[in-house]
């Protein structure tokens, strides 16, 4: 029989996080699912008896501290930490502010580090699974803060994997575009940021914004299903020696392959697609 593992996942209220929590619980694992609202906690716990909702705002150290003490009262060991909580800040670089980009890094890069620092004492010999993205290849315009935050997370955690003396394995999961509410949220957020920008920037980039919105909204229909990603995470959880990185979906593999080409070639290809050549 496979061993039951104890797992903590952030950002489990909806989308990929919710599906991962459900899939792991259905396969007999004990899941602490990070949420920010009572209603989400109740709904998750109804999905499966193996799920326990935990209040975590990953941008606040005090919230992470409270979650840590709640979990340590219920178990003395974590087998897996899954850093899933994330947001997508979008828009042309010249129209964004340093504060916009800082917000992106707070959730996607600094929050996983906060989770690492707090829960490392419970993870000896365990795994950290980071939900990265094919965007970590860095070849996608207009979502550069998102790309940079995921690449930064991957680099920092890969260094930790090399350095740590606690035998903690780090795995980066890089899905292609997923059918998830993050795209609706990012479109709304991008539109709000765009409306605050000066008229010159708005005139320059309005066509690009509309194209970006169209592509993002289409992702809700054409993206890969969250269940495919959840099954990949289950495989990693139950595998003794997983690889350090997994692409999920054909487009993710293609993005990683393309990123190995000379930057000049990549830029010409992307500009051609944007109709800039």
Residue 16 belongs to a domain: yes
Q: What is the dihedral of CA 42, 47, 52, 56, to 10 degrees?
A: -60
Report the candidate in 144, 154, 11, 32 with the shortest Cα–Cα distance to residue 86.
Answer: 11
Paired strand residues for 64: none
The total of structural domains in the chain comes to 1
The predicted model scores a pTM of: 0.91
Report the candidate in 114, 129, 107, 28 with the shortest Cα–Cα distance to residue 68.
Answer: 114
Residue 34 belongs to a domain: yes
Give the separation between CA 186 and CA 219, rounded to whole angstroms.
Answer: 12
Q: Let me know how many helices (H) and strands (E) the chain has, helices first.
A: 11, 7
Residue 204 belongs to a domain: no
Cβ atoms of 45 and 51 closer than 8 Å? yes
What residues have CB less than 8 Å from 68, skipping those under 6 apart? 118, 119
CATH of the domain at 229: 3.40.50.720
Tokens representing residue 101 in the block = 């980009």
Q: Is 204 helix (H, G, I), strand (E, B) or coil?
A: helix
Q: What is the pLDDT along the chain (277 residues), one digit of tens a residue?
A: 678 999 999 999 999 999 999 999 999 999 999 999 999 999 999 999 999 999 999 999 999 999 999 999 999 999 999 999 999 888 889 888 999 999 999 999 999 999 999 999 999 999 999 999 999 998 888 889 999 999 999 999 999 999 999 999 999 999 998 876 666 666 677 677 777 777 777 777 777 777 777 766 666 667 889 999 999 999 999 999 999 999 999 999 999 999 999 999 999 998 887 776 4
Residue 266 belongs to a domain: no
Residue 196 belongs to a domain: no
Residue 50 belongs to a domain: yes
Residue 264 belongs to a domain: no
**163: containing domain:** 6-175+225-258
Paired strand residues for 82: 9, 129
- Total residue length of the chain: 277
Burial classification of residue 117, based on how many CB atoms lie within 10 Å of its CB (0-12 exposed, 13-18 middle, 19 or more buried)? exposed
**What is the side-by-side strand order in the sheet with 6-9?**
51-55, 30-35, 6-9, 80-83, 127-131, 169-175, 245-248
Report the candidate in 182, 200, 202 with the shortest Cα–Cα distance to residue 192.
Answer: 202
């Amino acid at each position: 029989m496979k061993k039951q593992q104890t797992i903590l996942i952030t950002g489990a209220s909806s989308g990929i996080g919710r599906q991962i929590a459900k899939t792991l619980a259905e396969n007999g694992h004990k899941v602490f699912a990070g949420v920010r609202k009572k209603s989400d906690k109740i709904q998750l716990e109804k999905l499966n008896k193996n799920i326990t909702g935990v209040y975590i705002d990953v941008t606040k150290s005090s919230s992470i501290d409270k979650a840590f003490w709640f979990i340590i009262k219920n178990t003395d060991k974590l087998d897996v930490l899954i850093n899933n909580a994330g947001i997508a800040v979008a828009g042309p670089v010249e129209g964004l502010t340093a504060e916009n980009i800082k917000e992106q890094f707070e959730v996607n890069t600094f929050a996983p580090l906060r989770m690492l620092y707090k829960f490392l004492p419970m993870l000896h010999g365990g795994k950290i699974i980071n939900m990265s993205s094919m965007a970590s290849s860095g070849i996608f315009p207009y979502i550069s803060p998102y790309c940079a935050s995921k690449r930064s997370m991957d680099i920092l955690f890969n260094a930790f994997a090399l350095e740590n003396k606690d035998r903690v394995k780090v795995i980066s999961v890089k899905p292609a575009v997923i059918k998830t509410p993050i795209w609706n949220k990012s479109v709304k957020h991008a539109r709000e940021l765009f409306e605050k920008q000066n008229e010159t920037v708005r005139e320059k980039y309005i066509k690009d914004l509309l194209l970006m919105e169209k592509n993002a909204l289409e992702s809700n229909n054409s993206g890969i299903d969250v269940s495919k990603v959840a099954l990949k995470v289950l495989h990693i959880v139950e595998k003794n020696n997983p690889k350090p990185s997994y692409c999920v979906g054909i487009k993710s593999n293609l993005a990683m392959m393309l990123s190995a080409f000379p930057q000049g070639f990549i830029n010409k290809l992307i500009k051609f697609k944007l109709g800039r050549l």
